[in-house]
Every structure is written in structure tokens, then in C-alpha cells.
Structure 1
Amino acid sequence: MPGLYLAAILISAAGVAALDARWRLAAFAAPVRTLIAVAVGTAFFLAWDLVGIATGVFVKGDSPLYVGVDLAPELPLEEPVFLAFLCYLALVAYGGAQRLRRPVAAGGGTGAEKGTT
């Protein structure tokens, strides 16, 4: 089924964004900083991929799950979308880890029990 891989990435990104929105872990806490970090990370990994493609280390492979659009030889449309998702996921996971490491306030609890942040 063409497009299933891209759909899975986008659905996963929506789930991560929902967590981010609820707990304000990355984009919902600092949108400009998050956008810059995702853009820089995506560009870095995309350059990494292009070097790997040029040296013959990375190949696309055949899958009926791809949309079928190639941005360059051996570079499917899904790759930069996945890389952006990976960077965003890392930022949200880091924000979540930071949130868990915060000391508990003297009043008891982190606010998560009461539905607040």
C-alpha cells in the first residue's frame, strides 16, 4: 500500500506532538528554538545520508510502502520527513526526561497527579 510508511511517520509525529502539547516539552514551550533545532538536526542527518548515498553505503531498497517520489537518487520523500520526526522526538524525549528529573516541590507531587504541569 503506497504511502503507508509516510502515514505511519505522520501519525507518530501527531502522537508526539500531542504529548508535547500536553506537557509543553519542546515546540509548545519554545517553538522557535525547537524549529531551529529540528531544522539543523534534519539538515545534518540529511547531509550524512547524502554522503552515505554518494559512497554507496546507503541504498533505498524497494518497498511498496513508499509513496514513490524520490528527491534524489536513493533518497525517497519519506527520508527527510523521518529525519525531522526523529529530531523532534529526541527533543520531546529530552524535555520529558528533564521534567522527570526535576526535584519534587515541598507541597508533594509534580502536578501530574492533579492534571497540571
Structure 2
Amino acid sequence: MGFLYLCALLISIGGMITLDRRFRLFVFAGVPWRAIAVLVTGVVFFLVWDLFGIGLGVFFRGETAFMTGLVIAPELPVEEVFFLLLLCYLTMVVFCAARRMLAARLPRTRAGERA
């Protein structure tokens, strides 16, 4: 039961990859190295944010039976990295999907230009 949360995160990340690949929204839309750089930057930003919060005593690790108990740093569970990856990936997939949907709804002017 200790790996349940990590498994749920991995399944969710797998679902995001599937949606991204199917609709070519973010990583699979064009230049994958650029999208991966954005994901890594987001995850690193939030990990640094977490470390500052832990250092200030604002963030702390809660103990549950669903977590592995493995930590990367004091008060920073390994599941946090996967959660932040899911958060950043979900945000970018939703952003790219919304942008595509809005672009499809914009009225077209002459020669395919957007109004």
C-alpha cells in the first residue's frame, strides 16, 4: 500500500502522455527538446520553491500509508517530484489544447489571416 500514491501519479502521467501523443499538443507537437526543457524548468522551479518553503518551516512532509516513505531531502518525499512533473505537464497540455481550440474559433479573414 506504500506505493499507491506513486502508482497513481505514474498512471496519471501516462494518461497525460497518451493525450499529448494522440492530439499532438505539447511534447509531440513539434520540437520535443523544447517542450522537455520547459517541463524540466518548471519542475526545477517548483522543487527550489519547495526547498525554500521547507527551509522556512512552511512546508513539511505528511505521513500516510499511501506514500513510499522515501525522501530526496529532509521533508521532501520522492512523490513530490512526480507530482510536480504531472502538474507542469498537465498545465502545458491544457494550455496548448485551449490555445488550439481558441485558434480554431477565431474568425478568418482574407487569405487565411486571423482577424
Q: Percent of counterpart pairs with the same letter? A: 45
- Written as runs of structure 1 = structure 2, the 5 A alignment for 1:72-87 is 72-87=73-88
CA RMSD of aligned residues (A): 1.4
From the two aligned structures, give the one with the greater helix fraction: 2
Question: TM-score, normalized by length of structure 1?
Answer: 0.85
What displacement does 1:103 show?
2.9
Task: State whether structure 2 residue 72 is matched by structure 1 residue 71.
Answer: yes
Moved over 4 A (4+): none
Identify unmatched segments of 5+ residues in structure 2. Answer: 109-115
SS in 2 for 1:102: helix
What displacement does 1:14 show?
0.9
Deviations 1:40-90 (A, max 9, x none): 000100000000000100010111111111111100000011111111111
- Written as runs of structure 1 = structure 2, the 5 A alignment for 1:26-105 is 26-29=26-29, 30-103=31-104
Partner of 1:23: 23
Question: TM-score, normalized by length of structure 2?
Answer: 0.87
Identify unmatched segments of 5+ residues in structure 1. Answer: 107-117
Partner of 2:10: 10
Partner of 1:112: none
Q: How many equivalent residue pairs?
A: 106
